[in-house]
Amino acid sequence: MDMTIRPVEPADYALLGEITAEAYLGDGLLDFGIGDPYLEKLRDVPHRAAEAEVLVAADARGRVLGGVTYAPPGNPWADIAAADEAEFRMLAVSREARGAGAGEALVRACIDRARATPGVTGLVLSTQPAMHGAHRLYQRLGFVRTPERDWAPIDDLRLLAYRLELLPPA
């Protein structure tokens, strides 16, 4: 599929918020369903875009297929990143676009940004145990499980950590 990765635009905010919310709701990833307080954070693309870099995958017609939040070192949206690491989170692709490469393209864009940032030695992420398709994608792209960094933002929700070692350019 022909697609472009670009920064989110204000006209995309509502759609990306719904794509992200639906990905989490539809896959049963929110403990409290439609009443989960995290749902509001998933939908709040304007807040994320004001504080971090939100990227979207768009098809050849400009239709948003999905998005991700990229947090460079020191960014308030980073949950587990060390001072020399970048992090991404809230990767989501619309149900209709799954399997077409949008998720991989968004992760690769995060990798490229991290590699282009001086002093960054790794890219990290947290994922839920049930996100098996995402785990396969991360492993295929070279991310390694770092169980010593697993954490629980709330009771009964253990997140798995992954890290990609970014080698310095040769």
Residue-level pLDDT, tens digit, the chain, 170 residues: 689 999 999 999 999 999 999 998 867 666 656 767 788 889 999 999 999 999 999 999 999 999 999 999 999 999 999 999 999 999 999 999 988 899 999 999 999 999 999 999 999 999 988 888 899 999 999 999 999 999 888 777 789 999 999 976 65
Q: What is the pTM of this model?
A: 0.92
In the chain, beta strands by DSSP E: 3-7, 53-59, 64-71, 85-93, 122-127, 144-145, 151-154, 157-165
Contact predicate 70/89, CB 8 Å: no
Give the C-alpha separation, 31 to 10, whole Å. Answer: 29
- pLDDT score recorded for residue 37: 75
